[in-house]
Chains A and B, each alone.
Chain A
Amino acid sequence: MSTTLPASVDDHHHQHDHRPRRSRNRWLWLAIGTIGVAAIFALRAFTGELESVGVPGLTADLLTLATSVIIESLPFVVLGILLSIVVQTWLPDDLLMRYLPQRPVLRRAAISLFGIALPVCECGNVPLARGLILKGFSVPESMTFLLAAPIINPITIVTTHQAFGFDDGILVGRILGGLAIANIVGWLFSLHPQPNAMLTGRFAQQCAVGSHGPRQSRTEKSLDIFMRESSVLMPAVFIGSLIAGAIQVAVPRDVLVSLGSNPLWSILAMMALAFVISVCSSVDAFFILPFASTFMPGSIVTFLVFGPIIDIKMLAIMRTTFTAKVLLQLSLVVALMSACIGLVINYVV
Chain B
Amino acid sequence: MWSSLQRWWGVILILVAVSATVWLGATQQLVLYIHPRYVVFTVVMAALALVMGVLSLAIRPANTEEAVAPRGWSRVVGGVALLLSGAIALTLVIVPPTTLSSATASQRDIVGSTVGSDSQNVDEVANADDELIASFTVVDWSSLLRQTSDPNFYSNKTADVVGFITASEDDPANIFYLSRFTVTCCAVDAQPTGVAVYAPDWANEFDVDAWVEITGSFEINPSSRSDLALVLVPETMTVVERPSEPYLY
Using a CB–CB cutoff of 8 Å, the interface residues on chain A facing chain B are 1, 5-7, 25-27, 29-30, 32-34, 36-37, 40-41, 43-45, 47-53, 55, 57-58, 60-61, 63-72, 74-76, 78-79, 82, 162-163, 213-214, 216, 219-221, 223-224, 226-235, 238-239, 241-242, 244-245, 248-249, 252-253, 286-287, 289-290, 293, 316
A213 to B63 CA separation, bound complex (whole angstroms): 9
A interface, over-half SS: helix
- A293–B38 contact, CB under 8 A? no
A79 to B15 CA separation, bound complex (whole angstroms): 15
- With A63-B91, A242-B88, A248-B188 known as contacts, the answer to whether A226 contacts B58 (CB < 8 A) is no
Given the complex, which residues of A lie within 8 Å of B233, measured CB to CB?
none
Given the complex, which residues of A lie within 8 Å of B44, measured CB to CB?
75
Given the complex, which residues of B lie within 8 Å of A248, measured CB to CB?
104, 107, 188
Question: Nearest CB to that of B14 among chain A residues?
Answer: A230
- Min distance, Cβ B176 to any Cβ of chain A, angstroms: 16
Given the complex, which residues of A lie within 8 Å of B172, measured CB to CB?
none
- With A65-B188, A72-B33, A227-B10 known as contacts, the answer to whether A40 contacts B103 (CB < 8 A) is no
B interface, over-half SS: helix
Kindly supply a per-residue 1/0 record for chain B positions 28-66, scoring 1 wherever the CB is within 8 Å of any chain A CB and 0 otherwise: 011011100010011011101111111111111111110
Given the complex, which residues of A lie within 8 Å of B16, measured CB to CB?
40
A253 to B56 CA separation, bound complex (whole angstroms): 44
Q: What 3 pairs between A and B have smallest CB-CB spacing? A: A231-B10, A230-B10, A75-B45
Within 8 A of A (CB), among B151-169: none
- Min distance, Cβ A205 to any Cβ of chain B, angstroms: 13
- B11–A290 contact, CB under 8 A? no
Contact of B49 among A27, A57, A74 (CB under 8 A): A74
- B64–A227 contact, CB under 8 A? no
- With A44-B19, A60-B101, A67-B92 known as contacts, the answer to whether A224 contacts B64 (CB < 8 A) is yes
Within 8 A of A (CB), among B204-245: 209
- B7–A231 contact, CB under 8 A? yes
Given the complex, which residues of A lie within 8 Å of B54, measured CB to CB?
1, 30, 33-34, 37
- A64–B58 contact, CB under 8 A? no
- B10–A229 contact, CB under 8 A? yes
- B17–A70 contact, CB under 8 A? yes
- Min distance, Cβ A268 to any Cβ of chain B, angstroms: 22
Using a CB–CB cutoff of 8 Å, the interface residues on chain B facing chain A are 6-11, 13-24, 27, 29-30, 32-34, 38, 41-42, 44-46, 48-65, 74, 81-82, 84-85, 88-89, 91-104, 107-109, 114, 184-191, 209
Known: A47-B96, A53-B94, A224-B56. 9 other contacts (CB 8 A): A29-B60, A40-B20, A48-B96, A70-B17, A70-B92, A213-B65, A216-B62, A249-B103, A286-B188
Question: Nearest CB to that of A10 among chain B residues?
Answer: B59
A1 to B21 CA separation, bound complex (whole angstroms): 19
- B10–A235 contact, CB under 8 A? yes
- B187–A64 contact, CB under 8 A? yes
- Min distance, Cβ B160 to any Cβ of chain A, angstroms: 28
- With A29-B58, A57-B102, A61-B103 known as contacts, the answer to whether A234 contacts B14 (CB < 8 A) is yes
Given the complex, which residues of A lie within 8 Å of B58, measured CB to CB?
5, 7, 26-27, 29-30, 33
A65 to B186 CA separation, bound complex (whole angstroms): 9
- With A44-B93, A47-B93, A50-B96 known as contacts, the answer to whether A216 contacts B108 (CB < 8 A) is no
- B59–A7 contact, CB under 8 A? yes
A193 to B87 CA separation, bound complex (whole angstroms): 48
- Min distance, Cβ A224 to any Cβ of chain B, angstroms: 4
- B188–A69 contact, CB under 8 A? yes
A154 to B44 CA separation, bound complex (whole angstroms): 19
Contact of B46 among A52, A78, A232, A235 (CB under 8 A): A78
- A40–B15 contact, CB under 8 A? yes
- Min distance, Cβ B143 to any Cβ of chain A, angstroms: 16
Given the complex, which residues of B lie within 8 Å of A44, measured CB to CB?
19-20, 23, 93
A96 to B48 CA separation, bound complex (whole angstroms): 28
A249 to B188 CA separation, bound complex (whole angstroms): 10
- B49–A78 contact, CB under 8 A? yes
A227 to B59 CA separation, bound complex (whole angstroms): 11
Question: Nearest CB to that of A291 among chain B residues?
Answer: B189
Given the complex, which residues of A lie within 8 Å of B9, measured CB to CB?
231, 234-235
- A71–B33 contact, CB under 8 A? yes
Q: List 16 A-B contacts (CB under 8 A).
A: A5-B58, A26-B58, A27-B58, A30-B57, A37-B50, A57-B101, A63-B91, A64-B100, A65-B100, A72-B33, A72-B185, A74-B14, A163-B184, A163-B189, A216-B61, A219-B59
